[in-house]
Amino acid sequence: MSAVERPTILSFLNAHGVNLCAGSSAAWSAFRASDVLLRDGVALETALPWLDQPVGLNMNGTDFIPLLLRHLSPRRVAVYGTAAPWLDEGIERLKERTPHDYVDAQHGFHSVEHYIARAREIEPDVIILAMGMPRQEEVAVQLKRALDHKVLIVNGGAIIDFLAGRFTRAPAAVQRIGLEWAFRLVQEPRRLFRRYCVGAFGFAHTVMLMRRAAMRSSSAPAPAPMHKEL
């Protein structure tokens, strides 16, 4: 990710993202177009062994994106997403903590064509999209198709809002035991109840369907070999 050779998308997949993919072919296609897809959250950590998949590390974007930006050499960065005053305040926090030149900032409610035009004009090395799922993933795909310079496109979710202090991170102890989602639910019950509480049942149902499909696939007889007549 520090030396991309073409437009490259970095995304993060959590339980909410799985639910979106299960209910929308557009969201599914957008996530599949990611070049790097990292696991985010305890729900996937629990589910992946059921699907005979490696768990890997929990690489949530709120922690990983600032870490990535701090370790990249100085770049030209554009931020597209959220709204004033959080956009400006979040970028100020990034300026304090990272070595980059923040060359463009656009709120998250423009058309896709607007972001493409800005990115073509400015040619940033890194684009952070902070629009929320699945819009940012869909915008990322359009940017990847439209741009022809080397650029890392990062789907950052609420990263700018967190940096600006719009949302408060859970205490470190709560994060370590995988309950940051519960902390956020207490902060924003009206907005997040459906995502975290109702969505949990949808996620469990989707995982069971995938497990059943994987078991059927593994137990299916191998196809008979095809012989070519000489």
User: Domain with 27 in it: what CATH number?
Assistant: 3.40.50.2300
Residue 224 within a domain: no
Type of residue at 168: T
- Residue 223's pLDDT is what? 59
Residue 91 within a domain: yes
Residue 94 within a domain: yes
* Whether the predicted pLDDT of 104 surpasses 60: yes
Residue 230 within a domain: no
Task: Please count the other Cβ atoms lying within 10 Å of the Cβ belonging to residue 5.
Answer: 6
Percent above pLDDT 70 for the chain: 95
What are the tens digits of pLDDT across the range 38-93? 999 889 999 999 999 999 888 989 999 999 999 999 999 999 999 999 999 999 99
Q: How far apart are the first and last CA of the chain?
A: 51
* Whether the predicted pLDDT of 225 surpasses 70: no
Residue 223 within a domain: no
Residue 227, class by beta-carbon neighbours within 10 Å (0-12 exposed, 13-18 middle, 19+ buried)?
A: exposed
More confident residue, 120 or 183: 120
93: tokens are: 């926090």
Beta-bridge mates of residue 101: 76
pTM listed for this prediction: 0.88
More confident residue, 164 or 193: 164
Residue 227 within a domain: no
Over residues 146-160, the mean pLDDT reads 96
107: tokens are: 């709120």
More confident residue, 72 or 170: 72
Helix axes 199-219, 15-23, angle to 10 degrees: 70
Beta-bridge mates of residue 153: 9, 127
- Residue 230's pLDDT is what? 40
Q: How many domains does the chain have?
A: 1
Residue 90 within a domain: yes
Contacts of residue 131, Cβ cutoff 8 Å, sequence gap at least 6: 80, 81, 82, 108, 139
Write out the residue range of the structural domain in which residue 75 sits: 8-215
Over residues 174-186, the mean pLDDT reads 80
- Residue 172's pLDDT is what? 84
Over residues 137-144, the mean pLDDT reads 98
Helix (H, G, I), strand (E, B) or coil at 97: helix
How is the beta sheet containing 76-81 ordered, strand by strand? 36-39, 8-13, 152-155, 126-130, 76-81, 101-106
Strand bridging mode 101-106 / 76-81: parallel
Range in 47-61, 134-148, 177-191 with the lowest mean pLDDT: 177-191
Residue 143 within a domain: yes
> Residues 181-204, buried b or exposed e (16+ Cβ, 10 A)?
beebbeeeeeebeebbeebeebbe
